[in-house]
Structure 1
Amino acid sequence: MNFELEPPKHGGDLEAFLRSENLDPNSADRWLDLSSACNREPWPIPESFLENSAKLWYELPDAFALQQAANEYFGLAPLAIGAGTQQFIEILPALLIEHAKSKKVWVPAVGYQEHGFSWRKWGYDVREYQDVSELLINEWDIAVVISPNNPSGQYLTSAQSEQLKVLLETSERYLVLDEAFLDATPEASWLNGPLPRSCFVLRSVGKFFGLAGARVGFMFGDQAFAASTKSLVGPWPVATPALHLVTQALKDRDWQAESLASLTERHAYFEANMVPKLNTLFDSQDMMHTPLFYTWQLEQGQALKAVHALHSVGIHIRLGQGWVRLSLPAGHEMQRLNHGLVRLLQGHQLKELG
């Protein structure tokens, strides 16, 4: 085990960025922060909750109502509810340490880096793959798949899903399927059909619902792992106020439908008005997107220049190794983004980027 590894960096880090640049952290409200991939039009916290939630801070958490709401929303009872999908990413190496045939695990080279980090901490031999197709032709005992992948935007195809299910059903392998970004495209979820007994599916309310601060996630899998999972998660992983809020969010079908419609409308506007400007700014049209974010692949030096240029007009985005990512702005944020891009493309910053 190695618990001294340096943890990965994440988006949604505007205040940390401001501190690192010796800028006033209190100026965060003056920036347009598109660095995370969460819904910029999140589920609205009800006024009634804000006015009457004091008693929730005095009660120990009881997840029964959320269990029922999750069962109805996902169509399947979760194996466990935890402090975001991150908690399950942390415990899965311990959960499988005595079940898998070996300590070899395959994770995507591009994707949420906490997956590989968690397995490495527990002493697993972590190997990276570039494309899911590699899992279909190589031997492995544990693998992690992210669909849709953040930041690449790639989904599992129907053919890949069927092939992976066959592998799980005909061999002693374990698959961790991270579907944290799938709520806006639920038709692609493995939860829609019989789940292989050696598969664990992770879902989150931090992305589509935009409730990242609630720290609530769900893990689905074989009930044979229920006792071990409960032991590793602990008795009260989610605070009482978060349990109540997320229960209401999962039941709010009207908002869910309205949010899907809003995402469609915002994408149409973004692609027509922002994407051409961003293609020019990044000097790249190598772009993929999901309902919640857009990612451009570009040379690292160009990526750094583009991020610095956007910072000069108060826009913060996510910088990776050879890619940049923007969350889809809220409707009311579009004009602010457009204004910043116009300033850059009309000014000297464009010359520097060229």
Structure 2
Amino acid sequence: MNDSGGWVLKCAKCDQVFPLNVKNPDDASSVKSGATILDSWDNEIGNRAEILAAHGAIEGSEQVKRLMLQEHGEAEVFYDLHSKPLYRCGACKKGLEVLAYAALEAHLAVVNHSFAGYLNWYLAHSGGATEGICVQLDLRCACSAEHRARFYREFSEDVSQAASEFWLVDVAGDRPTLDIDGIYSRDDCITILEKLLLRWRALHSAVLLAAPFIGFNYPGARKKVPELWNWVLKYTDPGKTSLITRKATFKLLKDASKDTEQDVEFLKSWGLLNPTVAALDEKKAFFKTDFHAKFYCGMSADRVEILVGSFNIHEGTYVENIHLLTYSFDDFKERYLLGMKMFFDVEALKKRRNVLEIMVNDGKIMECKEVCYSGSLTKE
């Protein structure tokens, strides 16, 4: 049936009451152990807020946020408009992100109307769901420069309630808009990489993260290690993400999470470990002990975007240098993968991806159709 809704759960261990989004909450889904179902809501009825309030379930509780090490932890991912802009006008250098989201919010009604029409066709024909939904619309900067913004959200049969449900994944113009290269604090590097992870998750077939260190191994800092791993897991899709690190870095995570609700061994024993982390806990897991290179990239058969520099996945005010580069996959393989003694099946990067494209121009829908891409979503 694929009804959309959720449960109010009570933890069997600590009695914490918390919500969890679930498909078919009253029919095909159930809890095997670890929690009791107190109630359920139905998104079509729209009684979520009422049900949560009745049980005192805190939407943003730390218990919910900490589920990200688990395979089924589905936290909402939002684009941060308060951090350093990733996209700037090539003419006046002003940030374009707030302007882009304001434009999407203004056109959300026509976008939803177009999507609803497509959804009627989709449900009637029992077709396979597209991977995601792209919305493209025009922007005019305060300096009068013209741009075109591209937003993305993963496919859902629900219409969007707010522009924030979409991720801004590109802004194009007569001049380059991606403005990244430079020296930044580690905290700024985190926010820049966060937005790039959303861009790559939408536009590319695979994401590769190579970081020798994630967090610090000294007293007072170890407790933050699981939080940094959770951040990586939250902004990446385990179905298309590979993480390369040192074995000692993974051991630090296991040690830092021991005897907590994020305990890697405990989650593994229950089959709840996030696939990205689970892959590192296999006997044949690929670790490198002899590297200090730091790079993060979105990869497709035709194109690779890579963030390189001195930045490990660390927080703080220390400064690092980062640069965003673009290569063909073959060039990237020669420059990076061979040096790391890593190999990627390029055929997997050619997998065809169906996306619903909605084009908005002058406040009207110009096009709403499924588009099939082979490789990145930057080329048809």
Give the TM-score normalised by the residue count of structure 2: 0.23
Give the TM-score normalised by the residue count of structure 1: 0.24
Which structure is richer in relative contact order (CA contacts within 8 A, separation 6 or more)?
1
Q: Which has the higher strand share?
A: 2
